[in-house]
Structure 1
Amino acid sequence: MTTSKSTQHIVRKRQVIKLGGSMLDELSDTFFQGVKKLQQDGIQVVIVHGGGPSINQELADRGVTSSVVKGFRVTSAEAIGIVQSIMIGQVNPSLVHRFNQEGVKAVGLSGYDANLFTCDLLDFDTYGYVGKIKSVETEILDTLLDAGITPVISCVGKTESGEPLNVNADTVASRIALAVEAESLLLVTDTSGIRIQDQPQTEVEPQAIYGWIKTEDIYGGMIPKVMAAIDCLEAGIPSVKIVCQKLNGTVITNEGAIA
C-alpha cells in the first residue's frame, strides 16, 4: 500500500474510531461527549463506520441474496449498487447529521472523495466486488482535521477506473489509522472490553488472547473482535482498544511492536 502525506511535518495526536453498523442506532449522548472530550484534549478524531444491518435489510427487501465468506460480504454486481447507495446515500449522511446535531462538526467521506482510498479487487471469483486498499491519500483528512472537522468515512472504495467496491470496515479503519499515523484505533462495541472470569482487563497482549481463546475464556462474538484488533496491530498500529460507548475498555498492545 502506498500512502500520500502532506509535506509539512506537524506533530499531531490522532485516534481512529471504528463503529460497526449494528452500533449506529444505539449511539448515546455519552459516546458523543467522549468524542468531544478527546477533541478538547487535543486529539484529532477520525470516524470509520460500517452499515451491515441497513444493507442486509435493503438486500432482503429487493430479494438479492448475499453471503459472508471469511468475514467478507460476497458482493455481486447487483449488490454493490445497493451497498453504494445505502452507505453513501443513507447511512453516512444520517451519522454525519447526528455528529453535527451533538455539537461535533463532521463531514462525510467515502473512497471517492479526493481519492481518499483506491482499491484493487480482493478476489473477484470468491468475493465479487470487494476491494483491498491499494493507496490512501491523506491530504483531505489533514485539511479537515486541522480545521477542527471530524471526517466520517463510509467503507465504499473504488478502482482506479471508478468502479465501486465494498471494503471491510475493519480494513478501512486500520489502513486509515496507519495512513494518518494514529496513536490508536478504537473498536466500539456493545461490551466494555475483554473480561476474563468476570474481571475487566485493562491491557493485554495477543499471546494472552490466544490462550484465553483456547481455554474458552474468550468466546462467541468477542473472538472476531479480538482477532480484528490483532490484525490491526500486525498491520503496524501501536495499540488497539476494544471499548464501550464511554470509550473505556481494554487496550491491546503488541509487545514486539513497542519494545
Structure 2
Amino acid sequence: MKEQRFVMKCGGSTLAALPSSFFDDLRHLQEQGVRPVIVHGGGPAISETLGKLGIESEFVNGLRKTSEAVLDVVEMVLAGRINKEIVRKIGQSGAKALGISGVDGGLIQVQPVANHAEIGFVGDVTEVNAAIIEGIMAMTYIPVIAPIGIDGAGQRYNINADTAAGAVASRLGVERMIVVTDVPGILKQVDGVKKVLPTVTIDEIEAMIASGEIYGGMIPKVRAAIQCIQGCVSEVVIVSGEEEAILSKVLQGSQVGTRIIKSE
C-alpha cells in the first residue's frame, strides 16, 4: 500500500446501506496496517427525527439552521444513533472502531460561522486535536467521528460533515480524502451515454454546474467534495461504496470513481 492512512467521509444514510463486503474491505485494510479515519454525516436521519418531534428545521445556503432545540437532536442522532451504528457494523466485520464526537476531549474546536445570527449554532472549525485521533489509531482502533464541535466557553455547534472531514484530513496531514457515496463518481453525458469522469478540477466542476452538465442531486455532492479540499488535502476521490473492495482499489491507485483535484 502506498498510503498508510486516509480519511473517509460518508453520509449516515449511505453508510447504513453499505453491504457487509465494504466493512470486510475496511477490516482487511486495518489488518494490513492501513489506518482509516471515518467522519460521518446524518442529515436525513436528523430531519426525520426533528419531524417526529415536531421541531421545525430549515436550511440557509445548504446549512441547517440550528437552534438549541435542533442542536439537541443533531447531537443525539449523530453522536448517539448513527455513530454507534457505524461502530457496530465495523465490529461485526471483525475490525475495531471507537466512536467519538468533536466535543470529546475538545477534539474539534470551532467558532460561530459568519452569519450565525441568521443560522444559529453552526460552527467553522478552528482547530482539530489530532493527538486524540493519533492515540486512537495507535491503539489499532478506527476513529469514527461525529461532526459536533465545541468552543472555548463549552458551547456545542453543529458542523457541516464535509467541512469537518476536510479539517480532520488537513490536520492529520492526509493528502487524499475518500468520499463514499451512492454514485460511481461524477457523471458526464458523452454521445448520449453517461460516463464517469476519471479526473476533474474544481474550476471544471464550477463550469459544468454553470452549463448544466452537473445538475440536481449531484451538485451538493460535488460541492461537498470541494469543501474537503483544504490545507494539505490535494485531492478528493468520489466513489460508490457498493463497488467491491472500493477502498483497497483507491489506495492501490486503480482508476475508480472521480478524482477531484485543485485547479492547475
TM-score (norm 2): 0.86
1:160 matched to 2:156:
no
Q: Deviations over 1:16-37 (max 9, x none)?
A: 1111122132011232133234
1:120 to 101, 111, 116: 111
Worse-superposed segment, 64-73 or 15-24: 15-24
The answer on whether the counterparts of 2:170 and 2:230 sit within 8 Å (CA) in structure 1 is no
What is the aligned partner in structure 1 of residue 198 from structure 2?
202
Cα gap change, 1:41 to 1:221, in 2 (>3 Å): farther
Superposed displacement of residue 114, structure 1:
2.0
Within 5 Å, which residues of 2 pair with 1:131-170?
Answer: 131-170=123-162
What is the aligned partner in structure 2 of residue 34 from structure 1?
25
The answer on whether the counterparts of 1:13 and 1:183 sit within 8 Å (CA) in structure 2 is no
2:67 to 69, 76, 94: 76
Superposed displacement of residue 72, structure 1:
0.8
What is the aligned partner in structure 1 of residue 173 from structure 2?
181
What is the aligned partner in structure 2 of residue 20 from structure 1?
11
The answer on whether the counterparts of 2:166 and 2:230 sit within 8 Å (CA) in structure 1 is no
Letter in 2 for 1:244: S
Cα gap change, 1:147 to 1:160, in 2 (>3 Å): same
Secondary structure, in 3 states, of the residue corresponding to 2:71? helix
TM-score (norm 1): 0.88
Secondary structure, in 3 states, of the residue corresponding to 1:103? coil
1:231 to 214, 227, 230: 227
Residues in 1 aligned to 2:77 and 2:225: alpha-carbon distance in whole angstroms: 26
Cα gap change, 1:215 to 1:46, in 2 (>3 Å): same
Superposed displacement of residue 166, structure 1:
0.8
The answer on whether the counterparts of 1:12 and 1:44 sit within 8 Å (CA) in structure 2 is no
Letter in 1 for 2:103: Y
The answer on whether the counterparts of 1:14 and 1:180 sit within 8 Å (CA) in structure 2 is no
CA RMSD of aligned residues (A): 1.9
1:250 matched to 2:242:
no
Aligned residues: 246
Between the aligned residues of both structures, percent identity stands at 36
Secondary structure, in 3 states, of the residue corresponding to 2:111? strand
The answer on whether the counterparts of 2:15 and 2:86 sit within 8 Å (CA) in structure 1 is yes
2:102 to 78, 91, 111: 111
